[in-house]
Chains A and B, each alone.
Chain A
Amino acid sequence: MAAKKLNIKDKYRLLTRDLDWEFSYQDRNKAFPFEEFEGIKITDWSKWEDPFRLTMDSYWKYQAEKEKKLYAIFDAFSQNNGQLNISDPRYVNALKIFLTGVSPLEYQAFQGFAHTGRQFGGVGARVACQMQSIDELRHVQTQVHAMSHYNKFFDGLQDWSHMHDRVWYLSVPKSFFNDARAAGPFEFMVAIGFSFEYVLTNLLFVPFMSGAAYNGDMATVTFGFSAQSDEARHMTLGLEVIKFLLEQHEDNVPIVQKWIDKWFWRGTRLLTIVAMMMDYMLPNKVMSWKEAWEVYFEEAGGALFKDLARYGITMPKYADVIEKEKEHISHQAWWTFYTHGHAAGFHTWIPTDEELDWLSEKYPDTFDKYYRPRWELAKEMEARGERFYTKALPQLCTTCQIPMLFTEMDDPSQTCYRDSVYNGDRYHFCSDGCKDIFDDEPEKFVQSWLPVHQIFQGNCGGPGVEDILRDYYQMNVGVDNMDIKGSPDEERWKKWKGVA
């Protein structure tokens, strides 16, 4: 007898909620040991509303169709020598940061959601997390394939996963995700599902994919479009998690608020690198970081937090500081990379005169006053044949691991220094936000693997910077790093374009 075809509703029930079972002879708490230690109270998992109205079989079918199209475009891009159609070889350096800094986070997200998907007692949440986990694994794969074509023609893309684990500035994104994954499952969901995917992800993907489009990078644009429907589901999950936790028990509210404060701060610190890419690394600019922040956080995020006010949730702590930071962080970050261009796995440069003017126009209150003079100094030094590379290693923030490059927002010519003493040792922070995070969980952050200190402890080879770059980071010294001027990337581009 032929099996009866199930209708969609039955299939959905069987493939999601019906996957659960009663624990008749085992202790349910032992099956889900991570569910209680964070202090979150769940009274009824059945109140969870499935954010993905999708079953596994239709998921495969749908994703397979999407990827067939995606890989057809990658093939066409490669056969047509798509790398020749980008705006300028400087653009590829943004891809180098993306591949070494962001794609490995997709892999960490895959691992994090797989773990979380195992640990939630509610079957609806488990299924949603498992689907997101598979999405994230697909994303790392498609990103690697989208960018592999560039690896044939440009330097610095050859060893991205190795670099992610070791290179000093990549400890920033790596430790961000390590922090989330080392937390309990509910904090992970608020950190990645809500704060990052829901509140901040538009600030990563919209500028990055628009940037790719503006700069002729069809492979990355296509990847971005392909990921968009997944991202929409991830945002829905992030929002569902927050609402579910807040509706389950009033005791959850202060815990969730603390996580929102923490992860909003950590997320904005991480996005500093996106700010820098938008303002300095895209030869054809989409919008300034400040404009993106206003549209995607202040307007969209502002409306979101108004909605959440009925649960007693307020705007993230230090949102007022962040509002001032939008004027500064991209400039402070690119200056840091420019002055450490000998130790970066990508090229850096002085903005062109037109770009400096664009920055003045976009940042009328801050650029000419605080940041243009830095570039004038850099130009003077370059003209003397003394391109400025810093000769000592920077102090790092214990929490975000970024060099202590951020200033007081009310005194932008003065570095912001904060510290705490814990068990007799002193720890340094770039901001009140990072200090608060440490002070709340010092036993977690005393373990920070700070690249500068690791070098001084002899754990990264060396002792010379060049030895570390070559042997420990596996960079091609003199090829992957240094200024774009005179780099092999630039030489090849000129040859392809027939420019002397």
Chain B
Amino acid sequence: MPVHAITPDYKGDVKDRLENFHGNQIVYVGWDHHLMFCAAFAYPLPPETPFRALRDEVMPEAFSLHPEWSKIDWSAATWLLDGQPFEPQLDVALKDQGIGHKSLLRFQTPDLKGYKGAGV
């Protein structure tokens, strides 16, 4: 039973369905083992956004405050998309490489251990 309600066959109103975001989809991006940022960031983006634009134009505003941001070697970074290993194609749209509404992207930079090597 998907809900214990007094109303038979009660259906909830899906507040975050894609149509409610005026042409955008939500994409979350988190940097593993870098807790200077308390949580992954949420971005509303057109599904046609190329991955390169997300990485090079959207992400830097918030992520670049980290002292290690400028040291990232993107060719060595690894990614997870919704928990699965993922190889982003830089010039392909988000929607055309499986990055859906409310997908979570996580990236790992194993050579960078965070501020003072403490995962910060």
Contact = CB atoms under 8 A, between A and B. Distances in A.
Interface of A: 33-34, 37-39, 183-184, 187, 332, 335-336, 339-340, 369-370, 373-374, 376-377, 388, 390-396, 403-405, 407, 412-415, 417, 419, 423, 425-428, 441-450, 452-454, 456-458
B26 A456 contact: yes
A183 B12 CA distance: 14
A425 B116 contact: no
Interface of B: 2-6, 10-17, 20-22, 24, 26, 28, 30, 32-33, 35-44, 61-62, 65, 67, 82-83, 100-104, 106, 114-116, 118-120
Contact of B42 (A447, A448, A456): A456
Contact of A458 (B12, B22, B43, B120): B22
Given A373-B118, A392-B62, A447 B83 contact: no
A425 B83 CA distance: 15
A450 B16 contact: yes
A453 B3 contact: no
Nearest to A255: B4
B6 A415 contact: no
14 contacts: A374-B35, A392-B62, A393-B42, A394-B39, A394-B40, A403-B39, A425-B101, A443-B10, A447-B13, A447-B15, A450-B16, A453-B26, A456-B26, A457-B22
Nearest to B118: A373
Contacts of B16: 425, 446, 448, 450, 453
Contacts of B35: 335, 374, 407, 413, 415
Contacts of A407: 35
Given A388-B65, A395-B30, A425 B119 contact: no
Contacts of A412: 119
Given A37-B6, A446-B14, A336 B38 contact: yes
Tell me if A's interface is mostly helix, strand, loop or mixed: mixed
A377 B12 contact: no
B2 A442 contact: yes
A425 B61 contact: no
Nearest to A381: B65
Contact of B83 (A393, A417, A445): A417
A421 B6 CA distance: 25
Contacts of B43: 392
Contacts of A370: 118-119
Contact of A336 (B15, B28, B39, B67): B39
Contact of B12 (A339, A405, A444): A444
B21 A441 contact: no
A364 to B, nearest CB: 16
A452 B43 CA distance: 10
A415 B83 CA distance: 13
Contacts of B41: 392-395
Contact of B118 (A184, A187, A340, A413): A413
Given A395-B30, A426-B101, A405 B6 contact: no
A282 to B, nearest CB: 22
A445 B3 CA distance: 9
Centre residue among A332, A423, A442, A456 by max chain B CB count within 10 A: A456
Given A419-B83, A456-B24, A458-B22, A443 B3 contact: yes
Contact of B116 (A187, A376, A403, A448): A376
A390 B40 contact: no
A339 B62 CA distance: 12
Given A332-B38, A392-B62, A443-B10, A37 B5 contact: yes
